[in-house]
Amino acid sequence: MDYQEFFENKIAALKTEGRYRIFADLERHAGAFPKARVRRDGKIKDITIWCSNDYMGMGQNPSTLAAMHEAIDLCGAGAGGTRNISGTNHFHVLLENELADLHRTEAALIFGSGWVANLTTLSTLGRMIPDCVFVSDEKNHNSMIEGIIHSRAEKKIFKHNDVAHLDRCLGEIEPDRPKLVAFESVYSMDGDISPIGEICDIAEKYGAMTFLDEVHAVGMYGPTGAGVAERDGHMHRITVIQGTLAKAFGVVGGYIAGTAAMCDFIRSYGTGFIFSTAMPPPVAAAARASVRYLKEHNELRERHQERAATLKRRLREINIPVMPSVSHIVPVLVGDPVLCKQASDFLMDSHDIYVQSINYPTVARGTERLRFTPSPLHTDADMDHLVESLAKAWNRLGLKAAA
Ligand SMILES: *Cc1c(COP(=O)(O)O)cnc(C)c1O
């Protein structure tokens, strides 16, 4: 086989379809978020980022940075090993305690990323619990899907946020079999939120465990930023709460929270935990500072929600097709991969605005979109400029207006 030709053909296919990905070469400027510098076509210029998952700007927060600097000076760069073989640093222990406190659980366990937390936890549960069946929301993130597949346990897929269908799926499983319902709180591409209480009611009726991915909610929802389950009063009902330190907390890493026995079980049997080097101690220190900061700064959450609501309102006023999000995420439908990329390129090249076009497989074909994530740091002037520029893009490219 001509291996190189195989690779090249696969890439050519993506280009034909208009969904070949080109990364924006960014240099974010601490202290100036959401402003950044981009290197593009041999030129350098300053832009405003409108699609970051550093939702609250914690990646430049002075308390986060101070904690990271202090830990670098104290402990150096890396952890030096897996958690079991010399890699556990006191900052890891402090971070796990902080996360257990955030979610009011007995314990928490950290991983290199949220993706690895999902993959490792779900695959370990499905592999180890005899005869376990997963019941999984059809829109679950790739990391949950991979974890479930990797476990080789049986799975059923329920229609997105459809509690009646979830009830039927659970009803079809033999009552004695162990079951786990896997879902998210905020779905990141549509910005909708699951009915956590109703899902818990049904799971409890059938004696199923619940696994809730709060990646797009931790730091941003609930009085202390523990997520939508905290906001809605259901946090104590979830078997496994999973989150990331990389989005609203602005650093990197993933975690689960739950009972001491559950966390100890994953710690002891989860290969993605056991065989991977612990996160750098400065990263753990920064993440802990960030979690603590957001626990105490509800006004940032209020400002965040206000910014998102304002952007949605302003785009709807000029008939830009904002999708029906109930969260901080502002998705705008384009519906075609080529036009979506053209809109993104036009905004970057002519208006110094960076919003990534989102295409398949992240979203379904025909629902390609621009996904805006206004942060507490986006000013009214930033928003004026964005709204005007989007109106021009819609005009110039003849994009579909709101119905
Ligand atoms: C981003 C994401 C993850 C993975 O988290 P990382 O910390 O970025 O690896 C997991 N679940 C969902 C829903 C996500 O969007």
How does pLDDT run along the chain (403 residues), one tens digit per residue?
Answer: 999 999 999 999 999 988 899 999 999 999 999 999 999 999 999 999 999 999 999 999 999 999 999 999 999 999 999 999 999 999 999 999 999 999 999 999 999 999 999 999 999 999 999 999 999 999 999 999 999 999 999 999 999 999 999 999 999 999 999 999 999 999 999 999 999 999 999 999 999 999 999 999 999 999 999 999 999 999 999 999 999 999 999 999 999 999 999 999 999 999 999 999 999 999 999 999 999 999 999 999 999 999 999 999 999 999 999 999 999 999 999 999 999 999 999 999 999 999 999 999 899 999 999 999 999 999 999 999 999 999 999 999 999 999 8
CA–CA separation, 156 and 134 (whole Å): 6
Contact 61, 290 (CB under 8 A): yes
- Distance from the CA of 7 to the center of ligand 1, in angstroms? 27
| Candidate from 51, 52, 53, 118 with most ligand 1 atoms within 8 A of CB, to mutate | 118
Using DSSP, state whether 92 is helix, strand or coil. Answer: helix
Q: In what order do the strands lie in the sheet with 179-184?
A: 107-111, 254-258, 240-244, 209-213, 179-184, 133-137, 154-158
Residue with tokens 């899902």: 199
Please say if 312 is a catalytic residue: no
Does the Cβ of 114 fall within 6 Å of ligand 1? Answer: yes
Does the Cβ of 184 fall within 6 Å of ligand 1? Answer: yes
Closest residue CA from atom 7 of ligand 1: 114
Give the DSSP per-residue string, 25-50: EEEE-TTSTTEEEEEETTEEEEEEES
pTM: 0.97
CA–CA separation, 343 and 66 (whole Å): 39
Catalytic residue among 139, 179, 247, 312: 247
Atom of ligand 1 nearest to the CA of 141: 13
- Distance from the CA of 114 to the center of ligand 1, in angstroms? 5
